[in-house]
């Protein structure tokens, strides 16, 4: 374990592995015996999983993964994997590569270097990261938080997902939890002049007439519910209709990024070709956090670098670096970071070895890296975690976590704890037994708590 909170330029990751991407999550506060440290959560999902950057090991010539085991074959003094520019100092290094903006904020980050999960495939690993289960549908982390904490702003949804990739509804759904805890998806929020919520306003009718229409509809629904008995789906629809009406008074202002100053746009990289799309997501996330939205998720895509890594990785890093640095700095300046938990991660990491995709056509491409669930990194900031702190480590080649191993269940237990919830007591009775986000597993990582 390393503490670098007092020195922004201190090295934070040992030479056995470090991350180069993240999941961005804003999480909110919970009800507990003592005041919880976080009141919102921001979750950034680097879809397709980020790279696990490893140093240049001069003594290894050939390494390969066989059936989940890393084999070191020769020791003739050649690098084993694509090596990226890294600054060394006394056996440890910083992640200088293409993340200069985030590096300036090292004194605020809490980095977990020993993350592990159970799957090597994108779909199931992403599902496990969001729901705790890699195969069977389960409620997402955001839905569990809504169930346990409720919403802080009655005029806004408590769980918002910004510009998710196609086919990811299962990762932000409610499954057996009541539908009122489902996410509100803002489509195309990373595009200029996009309609992030369709039909948010009906300018054809005055507000009073829209209210009359809703009351008539709600009366019909209530009469039907009284005749048919308890129907959770209908009850959720009634609640959703009321929320949709209330949103008309506040959501348009919250979603209006053009009301921000040119200086703020520049801080997030808005208006710049490479960073505009993700910068818009991050700025919108900050505005949602200001509006007391409990759980906010943003997504950056195109991290699946199975080939051409030395060209594609810098581009991916550049797209997110300035927006994330701007978000953290903006949250800090506005006094929001202390009670907002920010998480940056992918669903797993990547191997420290070359990967050459098979086939005659692919052989002409430069190499990349494969999937690695056995040892990867994420960072957290704000919301009750230790700033300037590193926990856990991988082995000497950055393949397997060997110290401070944190399973997804442990991570979820820790997030719930930071929001004032006991992961063992947050349960929901379904199919004859109580269910929870962490199933029957999970241990709070007390070492990272401030």
Same domain, 148 and 240: no
Interatomic CA distance for residues 413 and 23, integer angstroms: 17
Residue 362 CB-density burial (10 A; 0-12 exposed, 13-18 middle, 19+ buried): exposed
| Mean pLDDT of the chain, nearest integer | 80
% of the chain at pLDDT higher than 90: 50
Q: Compute the average pLDDT of residues 186-207.
A: 82
Domain that holds residue 240: 198-254
Q: What is the pTM of this model?
A: 0.84
Same domain, 418 and 353: yes
Hey, what are 104's tokens?
Answer: 């300036």
Model confidence pLDDT, tens digit, residues 221-259: 999 988 988 888 888 889 999 999 999 989 999 999 999
Same domain, 81 and 209: no
- CATH number of the domain within which 88 lies: 3.40.720
Interstrand relation of 24-27 and 40-46 (parallel, antiparallel or unpaired):
antiparallel
Q: Which of 254, 278, 296 is the last residue of a domain?
A: 254
Alpha helices in 167-231 (DSSP H): 207-228
Nearest to 329 by CA among 8, 50, 36: 8
- Tell me the chain's radius of gyration from C-alpha atoms: 23
Same domain, 303 and 208: no
Model confidence pLDDT, tens digit, residues 83-140: 333 332 223 334 434 455 555 677 888 999 999 999 999 999 999 999 999 988 999 9
Under the phi-then-psi rule, with left for phi > 0, alpha for psi from -120 to 50, and beta for the rest, what region is 190? alpha
Is pLDDT of 141 > 50?
yes
Side-chain half-sphere CA neighbours of 409 within 13 A: 12
* pLDDT recorded at residue 57: 38
Report the domain count for the chain.
2
Same domain, 335 and 388: yes
H/E stretch holding 362: none
């Amino acid at each position: 374990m390393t503490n670098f909170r007092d020195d922004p330029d201190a090295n934070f990751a040992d030479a056995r592995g470090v991350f180069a991407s993240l999941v961005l999550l804003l999480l909110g506060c919970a009800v507990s015996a003592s005041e919880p440290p976080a009141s919102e959560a921001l979750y950034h999902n680097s879809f397709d999983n980020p790279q696990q950057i490893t140093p240049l090991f001069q003594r290894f010539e050939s390494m390969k993964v066989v059936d989940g085991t890393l084999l070191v074959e020769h020791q003739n003094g050649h690098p084993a994997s694509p090596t990226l520019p890294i600054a060394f100092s006394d056996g440890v290094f910083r992640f200088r590569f293409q993340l200069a903006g985030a590096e300036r904020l090292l004194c605020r980050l809490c980095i977990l270097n020993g993350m592990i999960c159970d799957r090597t495939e994108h779909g199931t690993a992403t599902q496990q990261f969001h729901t705790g289960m890699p195969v069977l549908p389960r409620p997402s982390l955001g839905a569990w938080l809504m169930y346990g904490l409720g919403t802080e702003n009655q005029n806004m949804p408590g769980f918002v997902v910004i510009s998710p990739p196609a086919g990811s509804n299962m990762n932000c759904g409610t499954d057996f939890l009541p539908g009122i805890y489902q996410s509100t998806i803002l489509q195309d929020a990373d595009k200029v002049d996009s309609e992030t919520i369709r039909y948010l306003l009906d300018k054809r009718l005055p507000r009073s007439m829209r209210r009359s229409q809703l009351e008539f509809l709600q009366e019909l629904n209530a009469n039907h519910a009284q005749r048919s008995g308890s129907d959770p789906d209908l009850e959720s629809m009634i609640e959703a209709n009321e929320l949709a009406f209330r949103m008309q008074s506040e959501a348009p202002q919250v979603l209006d990024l053009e009301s921000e100053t040119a200086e703020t746009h520049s801080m997030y990289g808005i208006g710049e070709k490479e960073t505009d799309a993700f910068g818009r997501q991050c700025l919108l996330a900050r505005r949602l956090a200001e509006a007391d939205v409990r759980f906010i998720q943003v997504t950056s895509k195109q991290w699946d670098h199975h080939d051409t890594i030395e060209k594609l990785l810098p581009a991916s890093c550049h797209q997110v670096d300035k927006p994330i640095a701007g978000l953290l700095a903006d949250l800090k300046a506005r006094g929001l970071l202390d009670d907002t938990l920010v998480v940056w991660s992918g669903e797993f990491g990547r191997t420290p070895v070359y990967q050459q995709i098979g086939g005659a056509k692919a052989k002409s491409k430069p190499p990349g890296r494969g999937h690695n669930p056995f040892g990867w990194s994420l960072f957290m900031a704000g919301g009750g975690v230790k700033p300037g702190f590193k926990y856990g480590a991988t082995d000497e080649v950055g393949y397997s976590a060997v110290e401070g191993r944190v399973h997804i269940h442990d991570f979820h237990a820790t997030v719930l704890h930071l929001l004032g919830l006991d992961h063992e007591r947050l349960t929901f009775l379904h199919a004859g037994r109580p269910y929870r986000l962490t199933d029957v597993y999970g241990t709070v990582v007390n070492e990272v708590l401030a």
